[in-house]
Amino acid sequence: MSERQHYLDLVETLNKHSYQYYVLDDPLISDPQYDVMYQELLTLEAEHPDWVVKESPSQRVGDQPLTEFKTVRHALAMYSLDNAFNDEDLAAFLKRIQEKEPGLAEIDFSAEPKMDGLAINIRYENGELVQATTRGDGQVGEDVTHNVRTIQAIPLKLFGQAWPEVVEVRGEVFMSKPAFEKLNAYQQSIDGKVFANPRNAAAGSLRQLDAKIVAKRQLSFYLYGWGEISDDWPVPERYSDMIEQLVAWGLPSNPNSEVVRNLDGMLGYYEKILGLRDELPYEIDGIVYKVNRIALQAHLGFTARAPRWAIARKFPAQEVWTKLLGIEVQV
């Protein structure tokens, strides 16, 4: 087989797995297995830029929305994140930023656990929750408002009184480890679908058509960003200050997030959170670092699928998968 054919086969295989993962919430392979193939794809594309096809997973976010739900076009696109798998990748990320902004000796980053759930956008108008959507393919998501309204951690009305006319809050819906264990025990007792991991359980639950079922599943939420905000609202200079503002309006953010400086700060935070990983009541698969100064974020901009001002430092693979009688289980 030619190398070019191998590349096209990789695109097809990855797209098949993306569909299983994002659309059906039913992955056939583990995330690290997917990541290895995806990195090979990126290497081939870097070596042969003229081979890149528009349906390549490097050119898009997620997969198409499910047709059972009303679809909604996002006011501002929802992106994925580029990955770093080791300290060298992280140093290269920092170097790319410094090259874009020469002379900048100190760069602050918001460092956050990378929650293993799914991204949602929650729209508030005049303080009232009016719509919640999944990320979908980044441009168009699914309307899951009826389900998001059942998540206790998400206020239906913002606290206080001084809000922008429109504010969209973005964050991760996830299922805690205890809620996941309880759900799978119940599913087994009724011969129902057993979920591969909390991420798939959260995604499968949020995309239930019956909100009464969702309400029983104990989903949680942490915010980590925002979408559209009315033009007349003065967004602060730093990302971390805006997150504090959203917290003041009643939305929860991860208490383990911190602002860190330069590579040393990033590496120290990584070790700290890796050490805490097993005792956290929810699953994380890495750390996300985001440039804290919003003007610098704007200067760096986006690629087709991810911001240039943020990176996900993935943890080494932890899970071992097996597939038994068509039921995926994590052991």
Active site amino acids: 114
94 contributes a contact to ligand NAD by CB under 6 A: no
Nearer to ligand NAD, 172 or 184 (CB): 172
Q: Lay out the site mask for ligand NAD across 113-142 (x = CB under 6 A, - = otherwise).
A: -xx--xx---------------x-------
145 contributes a contact to ligand NAD by CB under 6 A: no
Q: Which helix (H) or strand (E) holds 199?
A: helix 198-206
- Considering only residues 159-178, where is the footprint of ligand NAD by CB under 6 A? 172
Instruction: Tell which one of 175, 312, 313, 321 touches ligand NAD (CB under 6 A).
Output: 312
Q: Which helix (H) or strand (E) holds 314?
A: strand 310-314
Q: What's 256's DSSP letter? A: T
Q: What's 57's DSSP letter? A: G
CB of 272 to ligand NAD, least distance (A): 15
The SS3 assignment for 56 reads coil
Alpha-carbon span 73 to 123, nearest angstrom: 13
Nearer to ligand NAD, 35 or 125 (CB): 35
CB of 284 to ligand NAD, least distance (A): 8
The SS3 assignment for 130 reads strand
The SS3 assignment for 51 reads helix
31 contributes a contact to ligand NAD by CB under 6 A: yes
Contact residues for 144 (Cβ-Cβ < 8 A; gap 6+): 69, 120, 132, 133, 134, 206, 207
Instruction: Tell which one of 288, 291, 296, 311 touches ligand NAD (CB under 6 A).
Output: 288
Nearer to ligand NAD, 83 or 150 (CB): 83
Mapped to the 3 state alphabet, what secondary structure does 263-326 carry?
Answer: HHHHHHHHHHHHHHHHHCCCCEEEEEEEECEHHHHHHHCECCCCECCEEEEECCCCCCEEEECC
Q: At what angle do helices 262-276 and 87-100 cross, to 10 degrees?
A: 140
Nearer to ligand NAD, 35 or 40 (CB): 35
29 contributes a contact to ligand NAD by CB under 6 A: yes
Instruction: Tell which one of 69, 163, 180, 224 touches ligand NAD (CB under 6 A).
Output: 224
Alpha-carbon span 171 to 281, nearest angstrom: 18
Considering only the stretches 16-24, 96-104, 140-148, 320-328, report the one whose residues sit in contact with ligand NAD under the rule CB under 6 A.
16-24
Which residues make up the interface to ligand NAD (CB under 6 A)?
17-18, 20-21, 27, 29-31, 34-35, 62, 80-81, 112, 114-115, 118-119, 135, 172, 224, 288, 312
